[in-house]
Amino acid sequence: MPWRSLLARIWRSCWHSSLNVFARLRRCYSASMPQASQPETFILIPGRTSRQGTTLNEGKFTQGYVEETSTLLMNPEDMARLALKNGDRVRLRSEQGQIELPCVAAKAGELPTGLLFLPYGDMSSRLMGGDTHGTGMPNSKSFDVTLEKP
């Protein structure tokens, strides 16, 4: 029955062409999604942590203090979107400088998407400007940084 083979050929060609369309769409969609290797802009919020306060009593050069002030906290959704895992190293750049450090996921609901938290210390200071605008305190809250995988 030639009409069955004709229908089968038409169905197979339509199925294969639709697969090709879906494959092309998937490639285009995944190419437009930000990857950790492509710089993405975030807002950095430096601040103090309770662990930082307790390790400060032991000194700023102790392993606990250095580890606490050298770890970036990120929203878990941002990390998943950028294919980052706890402990992955990232590069942050601001107008003043750049740093490389490990990132970890913040607790759920603790940090909104698009925001990063870095405890005050050597690393966060490298990203801040020195201009105090006459106040005696440099701008150290909520400034733009780009994040990428080194």
Other CB atoms within 10 A of residue 77 CB = 14
Domain extents for the chain?
A: 1-32, 40-148
Low-confidence ranges of the chain (pLDDT < 70): 1-37, 53-57, 130-132, 137-140
Distance from C-alpha of 1 to C-alpha of 111, rounded to nearest angstrom: 65
Distance from C-alpha of 85 to C-alpha of 126, rounded to nearest angstrom: 24
Work out the angle at residue 44's Cα, subtended by the Cα atoms of residues 102 and 119, and round it to the nearest 5 degrees: 60
- Give the model confidence (pLDDT) of 41-77 as tens digits: 999 998 888 777 666 667 777 777 788 889 999 999 9
- The pTM (predicted TM-score) of the whole model is 0.69
Distance from C-alpha of 49 to C-alpha of 124, rounded to nearest angstrom: 13
CATH of 40-148, one of 3.40.309.10, 2.40.40.20, 1.10.3720.10, 2.40.50.140: 2.40.40.20
Distance from C-alpha of 45 to C-alpha of 141, rounded to nearest angstrom: 5
